[in-house]
Amino acid sequence: MFTGIVEETGTIERIESSPVGARLRISCRAVLADAFPGSSIAVNGVCLTALDPAAEAFSADLAPETLARTNLGDLKPGSIVNLERPLAPSGRLSGHIVQGHVDGTGELLAIEPLGEDNWWLTVRIPEDLDRYLVYKGSICLDGISLTIARIEDRVLTCTIIPHTIRHTNLRARRPGDRINIECDILAKHVEKLLSRLEAPWLSNSQPRT
């Protein structure tokens, strides 16, 4: 489990395509402090398995499903990515519950300055994810835990504070980029539970005369 609090940004050293997916090599440092082969590391909000971790880089394999559902297939050498290690049992849940299982991608429409290095981030979201997103609810965008400040007609806006813009890949993002989206897992569980319930007033009601 992750929290959506980005620990550092890494840089893509190379990406190698294959008939069954691709392999990334990512240059970084902080998230490798206690990494071992098989460790989980979230890359732009996608939970990946660390391979060949060294002092300043690690590799990760991307399955076809990952390439199809996330923006990791858009990466190229030099791309900046957000990185986070899983939450330790003794850690604080500073963001919200993030699984690293991306639901889909949205389109970055704008990053507009508000002054003093604060920003409005505007993203168009897929229609099938709209029902899981609410005003003041949590959302994970490229692995960043954010609060929805506005949502209307499948367009959501989040406020980006100076710390976030300086310590994540948002500083390198441009309109038109694809953004990974993970919705709040609680919303998806509630939807499934409610879909299995039958309203008692419908099952017990008698026809009106």
Select which of 35, 101, 167, 187 is catalytic. Answer: 101
Note the Cα 8 to chain centre separation in Å. Answer: 15
Mark whether 88 is an active-site residue.
no
Select which of 47, 60, 158, 183 is catalytic. Answer: 47
Mark whether 163 is an active-site residue.
no
Select which of 17, 147, 172, 189 is catalytic. Answer: 147
Q: Which amino acid is at 188?
A: K
- The rounded radius of gyration (Å) of the Cα atoms in the chain is 19
Select which of 2, 3, 22, 66 is catalytic. Answer: 2
Mark whether 122 is an active-site residue.
no
CA atoms of 55 and 71, how far apart (whole Å): 26
Mark whether 147 is an active-site residue.
yes
Select which of 11, 27, 39, 40 is catalytic. Answer: 40
Mark whether 2 is an active-site residue.
yes
Mark whether 28 is an active-site residue.
no
Of the candidates 127, 120, 123, the one whose C-alpha atom is nearest the C-alpha of residue 140 is 123
The region, left, alpha or beta by phi > 0 then psi within -120 to 50, assigned to residue 168 is beta
Select which of 30, 54, 63, 110 is catalytic. Answer: 63
H/E stretch holding 64 reads helix 64-69
Residues facing residue 138 across a β-bridge: 147
Of the candidates 159, 170, 141, 138, the one whose C-alpha atom is nearest the C-alpha of residue 9 is 170
Select which of 30, 49, 54, 149 is catalytic. Answer: 49
Q: Which amino acid is at 12?
A: I
Mark whether 59 is an active-site residue.
no
Task: Find the length of the chain.
Answer: 209
CA atoms of 193 and 30, how far apart (whole Å): 40
| Catalytic (active-site) positions | 2, 40, 47, 49, 63, 101, 147
